[in-house]
Chains A and B, each alone.
Chain A
Amino acid sequence: RKEVEQDPGPFNVPEGATVAFNCTYSNSASQSFFWYRQDCRKEPKLLMSVYSSGNEDGRFTAQLNRASQYISLLIRDSKLSDSATYLCVVSVKGGSNYKLTFGKGTLLTVNP
């Protein structure tokens, strides 16, 4: 089983739609969780951290379920500028240190 697995995508949605991304992780000792976005041929950029109580940033809502080892990202009222690849990222312990492990990413295209 992969350390971090995401919906394979791609997702094509019209402007204004609500879209949800799902992610599961295999290591129950994972400590921190993030969503990054990556535009075509650009570097990944932090979109938001994911907290146990769930958190919201404008149109974006992230949820974490530690018992199910599941993370989600919801985008409401999607915009053309939301088109990008969304990467689920988990900190995984290796020895005494942690490293960030990325999922494969899910490509989102928002159409006019």
Chain B
Amino acid sequence: DAGVTQSPTHLIKTRGQQVTLRCSPKSGHDTVSWYQQALGQGPQFIFQYYEEEERQRGNFPDRFSGHQFPNYSSELNVNALLLGDSALYLCASSWDRGSGGSYNSPLHFGNGTRLTVT
């Protein structure tokens, strides 16, 4: 039973470029959340996708966008990269069970994508 998988594992980009990160949720999970974790900080919530729609969003600018596909996999896109976007990007999946977003099911995280912006 595959867990959450993310690709790529590492990425180096230049300021102003655009990047796309990918995530496949754990088998049986239908909800995908994305987090940004800067060095020495806890993960910061970016947004969550359920049924191919963005259901909840954190305090991140519109440069951060995402998508969820019918097979529940998800992408995170970041445009006009800044040096401050350098971080570990974590994808986490969970099973909403049609509960309308109540968070009683914990998150399962992927290994993350380490993005470096130079």
Is A72 in contact with chain B by the CB < 8 A criterion?
no
Q: How many Å lie between the Cα of A97 and that of B104 in the bound state?
A: 12
Residue tally, chain A, CB below 8 Å to B? 24
Q: How many Å lie between the Cα of A95 and that of B56 in the bound state?
A: 8
Which size bracket describes the interface of B in this complex?
A: 20 to 34
Is B28 in contact with chain A by the CB < 8 A criterion?
no
Take A44-B43, A103-B42, A104-B42 as given contacts and tell me if A98 and B102 are in contact as well, using a CB distance cutoff of 8 Å.
Answer: yes
Take A31-B102, A44-B43, A91-B103 as given contacts and tell me if A99 and B109 are in contact as well, using a CB distance cutoff of 8 Å.
Answer: no
Contact residues in B for A95 (Cβ distance below 8 Å): 56
Is A49 in contact with chain B by the CB < 8 A criterion?
yes
A101 adjacent to B104 (CB under 8 Å): no
Is A68 in contact with chain B by the CB < 8 A criterion?
no
CB closest chain-A residue, reference B46: A99
Q: How many Å lie between the Cα of A4 and that of B44 in the bound state?
A: 11
Within 8 A of A (CB), among B62-104: 90, 100-104
Take A97-B100, A97-B101 as given contacts and tell me if A87 and B106 are in contact as well, using a CB distance cutoff of 8 Å.
Answer: no
Take A46-B106, A96-B100, A97-B101 as given contacts and tell me if A87 and B42 are in contact as well, using a CB distance cutoff of 8 Å.
Answer: yes
A27 CB, min distance to chain B CBs, angstroms: 12
